[in-house]
Structure 1
Amino acid sequence: MTTTPERSSQTTDAEGRVDLVDRSSVTGSPYANEELLPTPLAERKWTTYNYFALWMGMAHNIPSYLLASGLIALGMDWLQGFITITLANVIVLVPMLLNSHAGTKYGIPFPVFARAYYGLRGANLAALLRAFIACGWFGIQTWVGGQAIFVIMGKLAGDPWLRAGEYGGHPWTMWLSFAVFWAFQMLLIWRGIEALRRFENWAAPLVSVAFLGLMAWIVMQVGGLGPIFTQPSKLGWGAEFWAVFAPSLMGMIAFWATLSLNMPDFTRFGGSQRKQLLGQIYGLPTTMAFISMISIVVTSGTIVLYGEAIWDPVEVASRFESPVAVVIGLVMAVLATMSCNVAANVVSPSYDFSNALPRWLNFRTAGLTTGVIGVVIQPWRLVSDPHTYIFTWLGFYGGVLASVAGVLIAGYWLVGRTQIDLADLYRPEGRYWFNAGWNWQAVVATLLGALVAVGGAYSKPGEGPFPADGLIPLFQPFYDYSWLTGLVVGAVVYLALVRRGVRAAR
């Protein structure tokens, strides 16, 4: 282990991972707590399999399934849907790996990483943007898991459970199922990050088996794969398809746009750059291709069986004739949803909220805060139909978060050349204090990137909350490419402002 000459407060090991020499110099900082300080080198021991299992657990879930089934419901055939999702995940893997590097090298979570470019206070802008999106996702996943529990209990208890008195448009037993699933997840997050790692290691393979079982059942029902793969596209390959393809691709990318920011929350535990890199390359594209193909086969099969695309796997599973098969299938769905939800949508905002109030919130209490906000957002409205889910929810927030990713990638790789002073990430008097804790160059780049990306947000009449000609008509053409637009504009504007500042300082 060596001490970096220009940064005597930190050391670098043989794997290139950096740690603080003396933590006592920053532990008293108002911007530090145990969760936010760098992970000690001795505790950075996640392997390639740990990251592969993490991705398997996060990707094999019902909302991932809904991505592909939603595309089939929008009129694509199996090949169009598969190409769209696979391409999207290859694309989003690039910024994800670029941002993951800092987590492994410095052992820091995403909000602390953001301090190097947004400032100690300004990092809360990036972190809270990510956190509130995660809260929305937590709510969506919890609602879906609650639906699975509701159907399981319905098979066991019968009509009295399924036809209970309604409240807010749903039986009170559905709300109870939602609450029970919420509580299970809060219990897991209360056990800490190591409990999560162990849970992912054994839950991920079981979930994969469950989804394979669902596909096998639908294939047997329709008499093989032939009737499924011969289902024609309602869009063709002409202009009608391309009009749907572009926003759908951005929506598919946006599904993991959150993780492209906050993967340092997990790679901070990596045993080496190689281990986290290979784990993610093996994990994300392959597992998403796997779940999307299952979803495409099952949803296309429902068109053959029922004359319509049933995009909700809980509803598909509820049509099994055997109650035992329904219960087993939906228990696996519950495990899948919990596996993804706690990892992808509670870990990150826990760090993000803790970063905003490090003296008041730790990993556990911030996780509880996430759970509460996830309910307040009313997730049952977001998954009401594929238009809202893909074009409104995914498309809009993807463009906003992409501008943050652009700033981080440009700052870490092009401006800073991967060099960060660890101690100064926690010191109000350090180099990352900028102007009263804010780096306005990063803030302006983020706001401009988001404005261009989603300022022209539009909806077809009757299919969303935005005006048909866009919120700002000038930017409407960019909205179909919201994620790409946000990433490029955020990065370019940040680089331009930094270089202008350097020239002005000379």
Structure 2
Amino acid sequence: MGLKWEQIKHRLEVPKDEDAHYENTTWCNRDLIPMPPERRTWGIWGYFGYWTVSGSCISAWSTGSTLLALGLSPQQAIGVVILGGFLTGLLAVSAGWMGENHHIGFTVSSRFSWGMRGSYFPVVLRVFVACMWFGMQAYWGGQATRVMWGAIIPGFAHMKNFFSESSHLLTNDFIGLIIWMAAFVPLVLVPPERLQIPFAISFVFFAGSCFGLLIWAVHNAGGPGSMFHEPGTADNLGWAFMFGITAILGAWGAGTLGQSDWTRYANRKFAPTLSQLVAAPITIAVTAIIGIIVTSASRDILGGEVMWNPIYLLSDIQENYHSSPRARAGVFFASLGLVSSQLAISVVLNSVSTGMDMAGLCPKYINIIRGSYIMAIIGIATQPWQLVNTADRFLKVLSGFGVFMAPATGVLLADYHVVRRAKLKLNDLYTGNSSSIYWFNKGVNWRAIVAFFSGVWPLLPGLVGTVNSSTDPSMTNWIRLYNLTFIVGLAISFVVFWVLNRVFPPPGLGVEAPFVDEDVLYGLGEESSEDNGIGIGSGRGGEKVGVGADKHPAHATVSA
């Protein structure tokens, strides 16, 4: 029986490369090792495609609703979007540099800041948020699919609902979700290093939808619409402007925190940098500007309420033109762009990064593909249609997770760029015992914990006040501080972590060692008795090479 169980466990292990020089262990598998040269396939134009997908999406389109709700005028909102997009690009460069330089993702990067065991905390936090957001993205993707099929078959748009009212889910929405998921499932099987073409196709479709709606709206309204010329209503323009910038940073914060998940596929240094600094702000700004103009003009054309979500706008357009053939054709092609955008953004911001995070939790049995499917199951199991329709407070809480993401970003940036100055001992990032300089105290770095919660606690009163829609005057300043979540949380954790490391220097500062020795990946075969984390691999000529202690002094350097 014991032998049979061991065989089952062996078969459940994730696949390895042929002739691999690594083993699947507690800390390592194919998706966690530093990206080998043959898998670094992303160049400048590939990263332009990545950011056009990230910046040209339904979330960017709807950004204007957030900014105008802060009391900004449309023109002021456009200025905020441009500046916020540029700052997002700078943040992406900073957070993605370890991927460009050392070819490791966020999951492994967390180990040198939090400790080998402590790294589970930020990874689990990101997995939780990503699963919830995937459920939302899938639900919106299903609705876009429903609109697309409703353009082909008008009766589908008015299909009889067979679900109870309490389910908050229409039958045609459910069918749209099933169709969208059927398209998403095989997309997960495409390796991240081969996603450039799907991203390019998605961008072309979505760009066509955006500019098609823009032409329709401006032509029929005779301009950008009356709402576009309305003045701002903010009592304090400076606060509103800052709130707007932090809203932009917060919206793309999780994506920038995990930038190294993608930059590790760069085929040369600086390949992602130009797209981060140029494509990111341009695509975010252009999409948001088009969203503001189309929303303003469509209100005048359709004579209804302000419709920020383009999915519902397309549905209203088809109804307004009584499902005429021309209207249905336009709605079909526009909704096709929205469907493809939801597929691409779910891969960019959810699937690959979450799959890698889950792989970090159980590398022997989970890789990116398996982790992505687990994420999808959890995301759908949360019944996002219930959350969207009935739990406004829950959505505020979910959005408030920026309170935790911002300090996590501050810790990572301070450690890599200021404390360690981009010098890592890569082999120790895969060593699960006290011989690793990243073991700290029983696998946990207390400095990261203190810095993290230093950045979190000032923002919690404002989060509570926002979730409860508090009107208490004593909460005003706390809520204002909370509205600056990403800037404040990142800055506090960054400074506190840097100070703690100056006063209490961690071991191994300035030490460097490769994960690759003489063009051979080494590491992680047999497990140590301490925590089943360390292993061995083969060097040249079949010689066994240990990982954990510095077995390669010729490759290690210590800076003064």
What range is the shorter-chain TM-score in? 0.7 to 0.9
Provide, for residues 301-330 of structure 1, a one-character-per-residue CA deviation record: whole Å limited to 9, x for no partner. 123232531111112112143111111111
- The alignment status of 1:312 with 2:309, answered yes or no, reads yes
What SS does the corresponding residue of 1:274 show, helix, strand or coil? coil
- The alignment status of 1:236 with 2:242, answered yes or no, reads no
Contact conserved, 1:317 with 1:330, CA < 8 A, in 2? yes
Give the direction of change, closer, same or farther, for the CA distance of 1:114–1:316 in structure 2 (3 Å limit): same
1:448 to 446, 449, 454: 454
- The alignment status of 1:30 with 2:13, answered yes or no, reads no
2:402 to 398, 402, 411: 398
Contact conserved, 1:253 with 1:398, CA < 8 A, in 2? no
Shift of 1:229: 7.1
Identity %, equivalent residues: 25
Contact conserved, 2:71 with 2:240, CA < 8 A, in 1? no
- 2: CA distance between counterparts of 1:27 and 1:142? 35
Matching residue of 2:104: 108
Structure 2: which amino acid aligns with 1:359?
K
Contact conserved, 1:399 with 1:485, CA < 8 A, in 2? no
- The alignment status of 1:255 with 2:251, answered yes or no, reads yes
- The alignment status of 1:485 with 2:488, answered yes or no, reads yes
Give the direction of change, closer, same or farther, for the CA distance of 1:230–1:41 in structure 2 (3 Å limit): closer
- The alignment status of 1:410 with 2:390, answered yes or no, reads no
- 1: CA distance between counterparts of 2:43 and 2:419? 30
Shift of 1:251: 2.2
Give the direction of change, closer, same or farther, for the CA distance of 1:421–1:471 in structure 2 (3 Å limit): farther
Give the direction of change, closer, same or farther, for the CA distance of 1:138–1:449 in structure 2 (3 Å limit): same
After TM superposition, the structure 1 stretch with the greater mean CA deviation from structure 2, 105-114 or 316-325, is 316-325
- 5+ residue gaps, structure 1, are 1-21
Shift of 1:503: 9.9
- 1: CA distance between counterparts of 2:26 and 2:267? 29
Give the direction of change, closer, same or farther, for the CA distance of 1:160–1:30 in structure 2 (3 Å limit): closer
Map residues 57-456 of structure 1 onto 2, 5 A cutoff: 57-72=53-68, 76-159=72-155, 162=158, 163-167=160-164, 168-225=167-224, 227-228=225-226, 230-233=228-231, 235-236=232-233, 238-239=235-236, 241=237, 244-305=240-301, 306-318=303-315, 319-320=317-318, 321=321, 322-380=327-385, 393-394=398-399, 396-428=400-432, 429-456=435-462
After TM superposition, the structure 1 stretch with the greater mean CA deviation from structure 2, 108-117 or 165-174, is 165-174
| Runs of 4+ off more than 6 Å | 385-391, 470-474
- 2: CA distance between counterparts of 1:210 and 1:110? 33
Contact conserved, 1:231 with 1:300, CA < 8 A, in 2? no
Shift of 1:471: 12
Structure 2: which amino acid aligns with 1:418?
A
After TM superposition, the structure 1 stretch with the greater mean CA deviation from structure 2, 173-182 or 244-253, is 244-253
- 2: CA distance between counterparts of 1:408 and 1:257? 13
After TM superposition, the structure 1 stretch with the greater mean CA deviation from structure 2, 334-343 or 169-178, is 169-178
After TM superposition, the structure 1 stretch with the greater mean CA deviation from structure 2, 471-480 or 309-318, is 471-480
- 2: CA distance between counterparts of 1:465 and 1:354? 36
Shift of 1:284: 0.5
- The alignment status of 1:494 with 2:520, answered yes or no, reads no
Shift of 1:465: 3.9
Shift of 1:494: 1.1
Structure 2: which amino acid aligns with 1:198?
I
Shift of 1:232: 0.5
Contact conserved, 1:118 with 1:440, CA < 8 A, in 2? yes
- 2: CA distance between counterparts of 1:50 and 1:130? 25
Shift of 1:192: 2.3
Matching residue of 1:54: 50
Shift of 1:236: 3.1
- 2: CA distance between counterparts of 1:388 and 1:157? 36
Contact conserved, 2:24 with 2:363, CA < 8 A, in 1? no
Structure 2: which amino acid aligns with 1:343?
V
Q: RMSD of the TM alignment (CA)?
A: 2.9
Give the direction of change, closer, same or farther, for the CA distance of 1:245–1:139 in structure 2 (3 Å limit): farther
- 2: CA distance between counterparts of 1:116 and 1:400? 19
- 1: CA distance between counterparts of 2:42 and 2:298? 40
- 2: CA distance between counterparts of 1:174 and 1:237? 38
After TM superposition, the structure 1 stretch with the greater mean CA deviation from structure 2, 496-505 or 279-288, is 496-505
- 5+ residue gaps, structure 2, are 1-18, 322-326, 509-560
After TM superposition, the structure 1 stretch with the greater mean CA deviation from structure 2, 63-72 or 356-365, is 63-72
Provide, for residues 138-192 of structure 1, a one-character-per-residue CA deviation record: whole Å limited to 9, x for no partner. 1222111111111222333334653322331231221221232123212201232
- 2: CA distance between counterparts of 1:470 and 1:132? 33
Structure 2: which amino acid aligns with 1:414?
V
- 2: CA distance between counterparts of 1:380 and 1:86? 32
Give the direction of change, closer, same or farther, for the CA distance of 1:198–1:432 in structure 2 (3 Å limit): same
- 2: CA distance between counterparts of 1:504 and 1:124? 20
- 2: CA distance between counterparts of 1:474 and 1:209? 43
Structure 2: which amino acid aligns with 1:313?
P
Provide, for residues 346-385 of structure 1, a one-character-per-residue CA deviation record: whole Å limited to 9, x for no partner. 1111111110111121111100111122223443466559
Structure 1: which amino acid aligns with 2:73?
D
After TM superposition, the structure 1 stretch with the greater mean CA deviation from structure 2, 473-482 or 128-137, is 473-482
Output the TM-score relative to the length of structure 1.
0.86
- Of structures 1 and 2, the larger Rg is shown by 2
Contact conserved, 2:161 with 2:172, CA < 8 A, in 1? yes
Give the direction of change, closer, same or farther, for the CA distance of 1:351–1:28 in structure 2 (3 Å limit): closer
Contact conserved, 1:250 with 1:398, CA < 8 A, in 2? no
